[in-house]
Amino acid sequence: ELTPAQAAGILGVTRQFVDRLCEDGVLAFRRLPGSRHRRIRVQDVVEVAAEREERRAGGDAIRAAIDE
């Protein structure tokens, strides 16, 4: 499991953005017992990173097609 800060480092975004992804239901998380601290599964972060890369690649392909 990762902290939101660690997840942010992997995704290349801010910790605040990871917090928003958690609150929006994009990233599942659990709270540590008796605290407000979150933990996020590594696999969930990897999946979100892959989705972000697919969208980025799609945008690049569209831009390349327009430039042709």
Q: In the predicted model, what is the mean pLDDT of residues 29-56?
A: 94
Give the up-direction half-sphere exposure of residue 26: CA atoms within 13 A in the CB hemisphere.
14
Whether 60 shows a pLDDT value over 80: the answer reads no
- Name the band, by pLDDT with cuts 50, 70 and 90, for residue 62: confident
| Distances, alpha carbon 59 to alpha carbons 11, 17, 67, in Å | 18, 21, 12
| Distances, alpha carbon 50 to alpha carbons 16, 31, 55, 57, 65, in Å | 20, 24, 9, 10, 22
* Alpha carbon distance 57, 41 (integer Å): 25
8-42 residue pLDDT tens: 999 999 999 999 999 999 999 999 999 999 999 99
pTM for this entry: 0.78
DSSP state of 9: H
